[in-house]
Amino acid sequence: SEDVGEYALRLGDDALILAQRLGHWISRAPELEEDVALGNIALDQLGHARSLLTYAGAAWGKTEDELAYFRREPEFRSAHLFEQPNGDFAVTIVRQFIVSYYQYELYRRLTASTDATVAAIAAKAVKEVDYHRDHSAQWVLRLALGTDESRSRLLAGLRLLWPYVGELFEDDALTARLGDAAVAPSSMRADFDRLTNEVLTEAEIDVPDVPSALGGGRRGQHSEHLGYILAEMQVLAREYPGASW
Amino acid sequence: SEDVGEYALRLGDDALILAQRLGHWISRAPELEEDVALGNIALDQLGHARSLLTYAGAAWGKTEDELAYFRREPEFRSAHLFEQPNGDFAVTIVRQFIVSYYQYELYRRLTASTDATVAAIAAKAVKEVDYHRDHSAQWVLRLALGTDESRSRLLAGLRLLWPYVGELFEDDALTARLGDAAVAPSSMRADFDRLTNEVLTEAEIDVPDVPSALGGGRRGQHSEHLGYILAEMQVLAREYPGASW
Amino acid sequence: DAGQAYFDHVMAEDSRIEPRDWMPDAYRRTLVRQISQHAHSEIIGMQPEANWISRAPSLKRKAILMAKVQDEAGHGLYLYSAAETLGTSRDEMMGQLVAGKARYSSIFNYPTVTWADMGAIGWMVDGAAICNQVPLCRASYGPYGRAMVRVCKEESFHQRQGFEILLELANGNPAQKQMAQDAVNRWYAPSLMMFGPPDDDSPNSKQSMAWNIKRFSNDELRSRFVGMMAEQVRVLGLSLPDPEVRFNEDTKTWEHGPLDWEEFKQVLAGRGPCNAQRLERRRQAHDDGGWVREAATAYAAKMAAKNEAAA
Amino acid sequence: DAGQAYFDHVMAEDSRIEPRDWMPDAYRRTLVRQISQHAHSEIIGMQPEANWISRAPSLKRKAILMAKVQDEAGHGLYLYSAAETLGTSRDEMMGQLVAGKARYSSIFNYPTVTWADMGAIGWMVDGAAICNQVPLCRASYGPYGRAMVRVCKEESFHQRQGFEILLELANGNPAQKQMAQDAVNRWYAPSLMMFGPPDDDSPNSKQSMAWNIKRFSNDELRSRFVGMMAEQVRVLGLSLPDPEVRFNEDTKTWEHGPLDWEEFKQVLAGRGPCNAQRLERRRQAHDDGGWVREAATAYAAKMAAKNEAAA
């Protein structure tokens, strides 16, 4: 249905934009092991994006590439967190930390989706995202307890990105209509808070006390960053519309 | 003639790409005075670009905007130096230092071009570029003689960008054919060397001993940076071809 | 005492206080806060527009936009200078801004997502700023009033340019017209809220009026602005997203529909779409520029010592 | 002595030396240089391809390209590990690379200006690398040979993917086909030069052959590679930019036209189009990552101390 398509589009756009962001680290990471690790995560996200966009496209007779390369900014459904710049390694790790704990709760529940395709995609994704969770949590600990500099950069990253957590857990008419085919975002918040808190506690960090940003990504209202991401991502495909690659 | 058009295109593309690079500093400069100063320089360069592209376009019946927004990368004629990333403030200052001393010699001679339009554009530009020269020389001195950090950043910037100096002074068939309508690039090298050397000597710096890069911008062979610059610069104009703004 | 008497006299005469004149501490503090907030707004206000410099769709528009954002840096400079005459240094004010301890106009915490936002900001946001600022050209503190004269002259130029951007879009293809209408819709309420809370919820206004650093109430200015917009939007062939805008023949003022003051407070409290981003970007530029400012200072000191030695 | 005798025996038998075996200093030094250069090439070689990850024109191609560049980081890891068994640490080798004191394959100093370069690099550059590397799977130093086995397996996968990119373009619209041909033209000569200077100008080759860390001469490998290209390019429906490519029936080898060894030397000497950029980018990544590596080290030390205390 179009509703399921729209839902898949949200999740797919999150993953696609994140993959695009993470891909930038490959050849620029602090050590080779991280070129490999961040590359793996980017590839996983891109894989999820492809499955989700392919499924979403089925609702409107479009391919994954038509959706990725020929939609304009207000037609994207990514949440603001995924669009945020990489910043330094600490900012990227904080983004990963939030994303992976959120996506784990999401995909874990979606394995029981009444929509069989969504359930199948989630079943594959949840295992990969579990590894992303572990990767980010390890780095949160290393940076928090490593040196003064790494701790202060991590704290800055947390203050910078925590405002975008709220949007991930907002219910709306679509998630309500979808019922058990989807997950009510707000229903995941408690588990997200509990599990991220466990890591932050071990890292001797308090959850940042920062106001929540307004969001709007699910309605096509994006941060100023998305336009730049799309300009770069779509430039070649748009230059040769209809071409095959 | 088409030859003059091609020549104006080279100069115009240099100025356009530099304006695009410098424009990024506005709202990000180290102090407000520099937001204003770099903004002024960017505006001057953009002004030169518009005059030169308008004149170049006359040879092919195209407007400045058609040339700026609807050419592809190999059709651009900018030299590699202009495409180089802003880097830190020292890198930008080094780029400005090379560019403004080069452009000053160029426009000064072009005021005597046998092509009246080129001469008129040069007559206006040379005064503005003289100010750019002063601005960059002052900063070279401040950074060279300021603190250890500023000196070492300046030296790094010089090593990074000096390889791109050579391309600016290469003669080719076009400049040969144009004779006194243009300037033989190689004929400016001695004055450029002498005048930049005066500043570098006062700054207690030796001209960097680095190999020259291969260049090729005048033949449409560009650095990897230009594609990104154009993707961003052209995105909106290309999205609405034929629209008026 | 004599100082207070002179000050009161100046206020009564609607004349001007100059930097060396005696003034009440509260007057000084209020002015520093107001002028520095205004300066901060110019600086932070560069960001939403700088966001489109690289993507401006024609070279002419790119040049105009660049010049505009650069003017805003200039306004910041005049205003910080005016505030400095009251004994607070630019460094100190900048420090407060990047530490997140100073306010700036909330309007700049909204994102500029399309090119039409360049038009809407020029036409509506600068339009509202002008309504606010023209009376300040007669502010009782001399340096402030004089700075505002320069600022206002440039702002009205900017407003015209913003109007032109929207006019071109409104007369363009359907997608362009839609882009323009969409921008007007998004910026309408935030620009009305630029005049501050309704008069019955604006506690400091009375004192500022007495000191001649505020001339009209928030609601008076807002009403005047709505009237201006309502007339000009017809020229654009667009509409305001507020069916309740009308001229009240009885009160001879323009009226508008209710505004979402809850959102205003949210944004003011830091929950706007771009609060964190704007501040972080300013902080980054400030931090990244630290070594440059240090170098300039060190070089100036060396040159001064050299000249000293030579003299 | 006994060590030398055993070493000579291993060479004569074409068998393998392992890390704990005695080996001549010159052998060790040559290997460290060769393996680390190879590792550096993998690392620097990530950049020209990473340049197109964000702009890959389909999601499938994006995924393949990402995986490829990531594989190169993996190859770098295996190779640095192999070199470390000879007593030089990765840190030290990386330090030499970012200080500009180590070499890497010159081919990576050419820019990737179109998407078709992703195809040409895969097909030609990886193709040349495979010709070079397959014999190294039997290199006399055990860890090196074993690393090469893994590398070669992945490289041939990459080569096929590059071929596919070109095939798709060659069968695409005229602009795409032109893009493909243009990339083949640009990468042809540089990829032939990857095998190093002609045999009569390659002083170190003889010793390396004697040590079984080189199996065929530069010209032999180059000729084999040209033959491979000449056959495959017909499948692509494209052409090689060298009219002198032909199979010599007498010598049973492939021949090609003259190469511009002057350009090769220029690029080797640092005058390639991207030498400075590649090195600067690596240095930047290395420097930017310093605090992260320090944090990881400090954290590991703290955890070790904690475990110690608990034990």
- Specify the pLDDT at position C203: 76
Q: What are phi and psi of A8, to 5 degrees?
A: -65, -35
Predicted TM-score (pTM) of the model is 0.94
Q: pLDDT at residue D258 above 90? A: yes
Sign of the torsion angle spanned by Cα atoms D145, D146, D148, D152: positive
Q: Are A61 and D72 in contact (CB under 8 A)?
A: no
When pLDDT is cut at 50, 70 and 90, the band that residue D206 belongs to is confident
Amino acid C269: pLDDT: 82
Angle at the Cα of A171 (from A165 to A172), degrees rounded to 5?
130
Q: Å from B20 to nearest chain A CA? A: 15
d(CA B240, CA A155): 43
Q: Which chains touch A (3 or more CB pairs under 8 A)?
A: B, C, D
Tell me if chain C has a CB within 8 Å of the CB of A180.
no
Q: Which residue, among C280, C284, C287, would best test binding to A if mutated, counting the most A CBs under 10 Å from its CB?
A: C280
Chains contacting C with at least 3 CB pairs below 8 Å? Answer: A, B
The residue written with tokens 């206020």 in the block is: C11
Chain B positions in Cβ-Cβ contact with residue D280 (cut-off 8 Å):
160
Q: Do chains B and D touch (3 or more CB pairs under 8 A)?
A: yes
Nearest CA in chain C to B22: C54
Q: Which residues of A touch C266 (CB under 8 A)?
A: 211, 214
The per-residue pLDDT for C182 is 96
Which one of B89, B237, B240 has the shortest CB-CB distance to C292?
A: B89
Mean pLDDT over D258-286 rounds to 88
A236 and D57 in contact by Cβ < 8 A?
Answer: yes
Please state at what angle helix B32-58 crosses helix B116-145, rounded to 10 degrees: 160
Q: Do B214 and D113 touch (CB under 8 A)?
A: no
Instruction: Kindly report the backbone phi and psi dihedral angles of residue B116, in degrees, each rounded to the nearest multiple of 5, phi listed first.
Output: -60, -40
In single-letter form, the type of residue at position D44 comes to I
pLDDT over 80 (residue D311)? no
Percent of chain B with pLDDT over 70: 100
Sort strands C246-248 and C253-255 into parallel, antiparallel or unpaired. antiparallel
* Residue D90 CB neighbours (<10 A): 18
Window 17-76 of B: residues touching A by CB (8 A cutoff) are 72
**Minimum CA–CA partner of A166 in chain C:** C271
Decide if pLDDT at B129 tops 90.
yes
Q: How confident is the model at residue D263 (pLDDT cuts 50, 70, 90)?
A: confident
Touching chains D and C? (3+ Cβ pairs < 8 A): no
Kindly determine whether residue B73 and residue D271, on different chains, have CB atoms separated by under 8 Å: no
- D203, pLDDT greater than 80: no
CA–CA min distance C300, chain B (Å): 8
Nearest chain A Cα distance for residue B172, angstroms: 32
The answer to whether D291 contacts A240, with C-beta atoms less than 8 Å apart, is no
Which pLDDT score, from 0 to 100, does residue B10 have? 98
- Is the CB of residue D291 less than 8 Å from the CB of residue A147? yes
Rounded Cα distance, A176 and A186, in Å? 11
Regions of chain C with pLDDT less than 50: none
Alpha helices in chain C (DSSP H): 2-13, 25-44, 46-50, 59-84, 90-98, 116-120, 126-133, 142-170, 174-193, 205-210, 218-236, 261-266, 275-288, 290-310
The answer to whether the beta carbons of residues C299 and B142 sit under 8 Å apart is yes
The dihedrals phi and psi of A240, each to the nearest 5 degrees, come to -125, 70
- Residue C215, pLDDT score: 85
Q: Is the per-residue pLDDT at B210 higher than 80? A: yes
Report the distance separating Cα C76 and Cα A198, nearest Å: 46
- Chain B neighbors (3+ CB pairs < 8 Å): A, C, D
Q: Give me the residues of A, 64-103, that contact D with CB < 8 A.
A: 64-65, 68-69, 88-89
DSSP A206: P
Q: Which of C292, C297, C299 to mutate to test the interface with B (most CBs of B within 10 A)?
A: C292
Confidence of residue D276 (pLDDT cuts 50, 70, 90): confident
Q: If DSSP codes are grouped into helix, strand and coil, which group holds residue A74?
A: helix
In a 13 Å sphere around the CA of A134, the CA atoms on its Cβ side amount to 7
Please tell me the distance in Å from A171's CA to the nearest CA on chain C.
19
Residue whose tokens read 């002259």: C153
**List of long-range contacts for D289-293, beta carbons under 8 Å, 24+ apart:** D289/A29, D289/A30, D289/A31, D289/A34, D289/A89, D290/A30, D291/A147, D291/A149, D291/A150, D291/A153, D292/A30, D292/A31, D292/A34, D292/A89, D292/A143, D292/A150, D293/A30, D293/A31
- Chain B residues in contact with D274 by the CB 8 A cut-off are 223-224
Whether pLDDT at B1 is above 80? yes
B210, B213, B224 ranked by CB distance to D112: nearest? B224
Best B75, B226, B232, B233 member to test A by mutation, with max A CBs in 10 Å, is: B232
Please list the pLDDT of chain A residue by residue as tens digits (245 residues): 899 999 999 999 999 999 999 999 999 999 999 999 999 999 999 999 999 999 999 999 999 999 999 999 999 999 999 999 999 999 999 999 999 999 999 999 999 999 999 999 999 999 999 999 999 999 999 999 999 999 999 999 999 999 999 999 999 999 999 999 999 999 999 999 999 999 999 999 999 988 888 889 999 999 999 999 999 999 999 999 899 99
- Which chain B residue's Cα is nearest to D280? B160
Q: A207: which DSSP letter?
A: P
Identify whether the C-beta of residue D145 lies closer than 8 Å to the C-beta of residue D137: yes
Chain C partners within 8 Å of B150 (Cβ): 291-292, 294-295, 298
Contact D113 B221 (CB under 8 A): yes
pLDDT one-digit tens code per residue, B17-74: 999 999 999 999 999 999 999 999 999 999 999 999 999 999 999 999 999 999 999 9
For residue C209, the model assigns a pLDDT of 86
Whether pLDDT at B150 is above 90:
yes
Distance from D286 to chain A by nearest Cα, in Å? 6
Of the ranges B75-89, D120-134, D205-219, which one carries the lowest mean pLDDT score? D205-219
Whether A235 and chain C come into contact, CB under 8 Å, resolves to no
Minimal C-alpha gap between C51 and chain A (Å): 8
ipTM surpasses 0.90: yes
Q: What residue in D sits closest to B74 (Cα-Cα)?
A: D113
* Chain B residues whose beta carbon lies within 8 Å of the beta carbon of residue A72: 239
Q: Does C295 contact B23 at a Cβ distance shorter than 8 Å? A: no
